[in-house]
């Protein structure tokens, strides 16, 4: 933040120095009117800066949310693959693995999803996967085929863990705080700029100004509202895990 403040102060100092040099080196005229060249140029640049910051503040969370949604389907698909791989194990081992995977999917969909709005995952989810990995690794496996089936289940559990780790990163990801601050600050300046420039809107000219203020307010609220992938207007829903519950029940022997 200190670097940004220094950069802003340097830019302001440059403007002051340039104004003094121009006044001394050539004859100039005062520009005090709200419709003058300085006001027009400044207004255009402030609008462009706001639009740039606003676009980034919208696009970055939107992209992050889309990626997070895809990652939830990758995790749910890994759960399904794990259940199918478990079907090749002996009956008791197969039933245990598929029950654990079903319980894990239900846990994520009902209990853990609410926590992700705050950018965190439940430690219980990690515990469940680690326990299942140890249990599968401890299954007795005689013969090459049995060991291959066991290794396939372990690989699927590793895929679930990897996808879960990515979901944890998605839950914590948000735009840089400085970006939101710049968006809010430039939006406020754009809103107040006519008054800062010396204009005094009256009558019908207040209507478009009020409309712009309302839209700017909505836009700035939207930037804050969608800053996290699992909360707000664009929040990722647990649709992937809802679908996987039905699919797990269709796998033979899954209950």
Confidence check: pLDDT of 35 > 70: no
Q: How far is residue 38 CA from its own chain's centroid? A: 39
Nearest alpha carbon to residue 201 among 193, 96, 46, 230: 193
From CA 56, how far away is CA 53, in angstroms rounded?
5
Helical segments of 173-225, H only: 177-196, 206-225
Question: Is the entire prediction scored with pTM above 0.85?
Answer: no
Nearest alpha carbon to residue 125 among 151, 98, 103: 103
- Say how many CA atoms lie within 13 Å of 194 toward its Cβ: 12
In which band, very low, low, confident or very high, does the pLDDT at 255 lie, cut at 50, 70 and 90? Answer: very low
**How much is the pLDDT for 11?**
47
- Say how many CA atoms lie within 13 Å of 145 toward its Cβ: 3
Point out the least confidently predicted range of 22-36, 39-53, 237-251: 22-36
**How much is the pLDDT for 23?**
55
């Amino acid at each position: 933040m200190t670097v940004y403040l220094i950069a802003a102060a340097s830019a302001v100092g440059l403007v002051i120095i340039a104004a003094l040099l121009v006044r001394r080196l050539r004859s100039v005229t005062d520009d005090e009117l709200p419709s003058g060249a300085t006001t027009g140029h400044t207004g255009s640049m402030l609008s462009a800066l706001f639009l740039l910051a606003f676009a980034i503040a919208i696009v970055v969370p939107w992209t992050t949310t889309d990626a997070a949604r895809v990652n939830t389907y990758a995790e749910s698909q890994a759960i399904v693959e794990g259940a199918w791989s478990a079907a090749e194990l002996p009956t008791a081992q197969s039933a245990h693995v598929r029950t654990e995977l079903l319980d894990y999917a239900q846990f994520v969909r009902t209990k853990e999803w609410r926590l992700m709005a705050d950018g965190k995952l439940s430690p219980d989810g990690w515990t469940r996967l680690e326990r299942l990995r140890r249990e599968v690794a401890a299954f007795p496996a005689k013969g090459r085929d049995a060991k291959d089936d066991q290794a396939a289940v372990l690989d699927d559990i590793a895929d679930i863990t990897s996808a879960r780790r990515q979901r944890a990163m998605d839950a914590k990801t948000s735009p840089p705080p400085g970006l939101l601050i710049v968006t809010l600050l430039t939006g406020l300046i754009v809103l107040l700029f006519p008054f800062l420039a010396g204009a005094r809107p009256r009558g019908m000219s207040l209507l478009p100004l009020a409309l712009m203020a309302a839209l700017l307010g909505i836009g700035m609220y939207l930037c804050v509202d969608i800053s996290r992938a699992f909360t707000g207007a664009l929040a990722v829903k647990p649709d992937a895990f809802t679908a996987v519950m039905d699919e797990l029940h269709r796998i033979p022997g899954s209950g």
